[in-house]
Structure 1
Amino acid sequence: MKIFAHRGASGEAPENTLAAFRLALDQGCEAIELDLQRWHDDILVLHDRWLHHSTSGQGLLENQSSDALAQVDAGDGQPIPRLWEVLELCAGRCQLNLELKAHDLLPVLLPLLDRAVTELGWQPEDLLISSFHHRQLAAFQAMKPDWPIGLLISHIPLELAPMLGPLKVFSLHLDCAFVDRALVEEAQRLGLKVYSYTADEPEDLHRLALLGVDGIFTNYPARSREWLLSHIT
């Protein structure tokens, strides 16, 4: 089972920070999930557009000046990282799942990804692009048809295939509270990988393993891997 460090090793370090990503790498994680927000002509790694939800800052990200952002503490003195910093840190070391949180990321994200391929050696298969914003995923795929995309949902659809529409989806990302065997098996019959978020407790890990999911997102990647290795054969 593939293990994604959810926002880095966020159970042990501040989420979506370089410290959390470094810890995940030190723990041998093969994949890290992170959240993207647009800030003017740059992309920052941040879960929410409201700074006070996860940092010491106040107000909307889009209203912040450079000086104000420089003073924001994302936890334990960590700054809010730029996507480019994470791409530099993780190049050649793990896969990244980039979750598109904002609706207007593509004009800034696409040239940044091209630069990452050229300058850092990233390959499309090592950068999984996911979002709840399915129309933005469709727009991304229209411009990057060979790049993998992951469809995020937090429900069990009446019919999966019609929901996918014209998208060529690599993976389906399911809320662990809304996943059952029928949906897992249907998705896998359609050729999709099934990844479930966010699983930290042994009961959830056990249930998801029995359901046959292909991977999990967890805030404690080392602990979750150790539990799965010792309890699931």
Structure 2
Amino acid sequence: MQIFAHRGASAHAPENTLLAIKIALEQGVDGIEIDVHQIEQELVVIHDRWVHRTTNGHGQLANLSFAQIRTFDAGQGEQVPTLWEVMALIGGKCRLNIEVKGLKDKTLLITQLLKAEAELGFDLEQFIVSSFDHHLISQIKTLNTNIKIGALTASKPINYAAFAAQLDAFSVNADIAFLDEAFVQDAHQRGLQVYVYTVDEPEDLKMLYSWKVDGVFCNKPGAAKTYIKSLNSQLR
């Protein structure tokens, strides 16, 4: 079961910052999950539509310029980073799940991913572009069929993971609150990977491990990796 750092190592540093990414890499994560919005012709890494929860700024992202956003303190003196800065720091050392929250120019994202493959040591296989906006990720997949997409859900549909298979998704990224073993089995039967958010409690990790979930998004990825190693050793 792969461990993804949720917004970086967000229990140890301000979420979605380069510091959180750096700590996640030091903890030996299998992957990192970040959130991306488009501001002007820049892709910025921040979770919310409004900036006041995660920075010392105020206002809605859509009403702010990139220059304004870069003046905000995202915690411990960190700036709101760009996607390119995050990818440059990771440099292909692990997988990267990019949750797209606001994107007008889909080719802007695709161009950056291809450039990262050419210049930053990534393989395109290492990227997963996920979203709750299934129209958006379907369009991205249509523009470049080599890009893996992850269909996010915070529900348990009647037909389980059929919606993700219809999108030609690589994975279904599911809220633990609505997941059950039947959903996992259905997704696997459809050839989908299953990634689960947000998981930090050992009991939850053990349950998902027993269900053969493929990956989990964790705020404390180092602790999760240690726990999964202990489970692996118990089964040897």
Q: What band does the TM-score fall into relative to the shorter chain?
A: over 0.9
CA distance in 2, matches of 1:226, 1:122: 26
Stretches of structure 1 lacking an aligned partner (at least 5 in a row): none
Stretches of structure 2 lacking an aligned partner (at least 5 in a row): none
Question: What is the number of residues matched between the two proteins?
Answer: 233
The superposition leaves residues 32-79 of structure 1 with CA deviations (integer Å, 9 ceiling, x where unpaired) of: 000001111100000012001221110011222344323211111100
Change (3 A) 1:162 1:92: closer
1:22 aligns with 2:22: yes
1:38 aligns with 2:38: yes
Q: Give the CA deviation at 1:103.
A: 4.4
The superposition leaves residues 177-222 of structure 1 with CA deviations (integer Å, 9 ceiling, x where unpaired) of: 1110111000001111111100011121122112221111000000
1:218 aligns with 2:218: yes
Match of 2:81 in 1: 81
CA distance in 2, matches of 1:45, 1:205: 27
Q: Give the CA deviation at 1:146.
A: 1.5
Match of 1:153 in 2: 153
CA distance in 2, matches of 1:226, 1:77: 30
* Percent identical residues: 42
Change (3 A) 1:178 1:66: closer
The superposition leaves residues 140-169 of structure 1 with CA deviations (integer Å, 9 ceiling, x where unpaired) of: 000111211111101111013542364211
Q: Give the CA deviation at 1:95.
A: 0.9
Secondary structure at the counterpart of residue 225 of structure 2: helix
**1:60 aligned partner, one-letter code:** Q
Secondary structure at the counterpart of residue 178 of structure 2: coil
CA distance in 2, matches of 1:39, 1:148: 23
CA distance in 2, matches of 1:223, 1:180: 24
The CA RMSD over aligned residues, in Å, is 1.5
CA distance in 1, matches of 2:209, 2:33: 20
Match of 2:109 in 1: 109
Is the Cα contact below 8 Å between 2:151 and 2:171 reproduced in 1? Answer: yes
Runs of 4+ aligned structure 1 residues displaced above 3 Å come to none
Is the Cα contact below 8 Å between 2:37 and 2:45 reproduced in 1? Answer: yes
- Farther off after superposition, 104-113 or 140-149: 104-113
Change (3 A) 1:205 1:165: closer
**1:171 aligned partner, one-letter code:** S
CA distance in 2, matches of 1:143, 1:3: 29
Change (3 A) 1:146 1:139: same
Is the Cα contact below 8 Å between 1:37 and 1:105 reproduced in 2? Answer: no
Task: Calculate the TM-score normalised by the size of structure 1.
Answer: 0.94
Is the Cα contact below 8 Å between 2:10 and 2:20 reproduced in 1? Answer: yes
1:97 aligns with 2:97: yes
Match of 1:125 in 2: 125
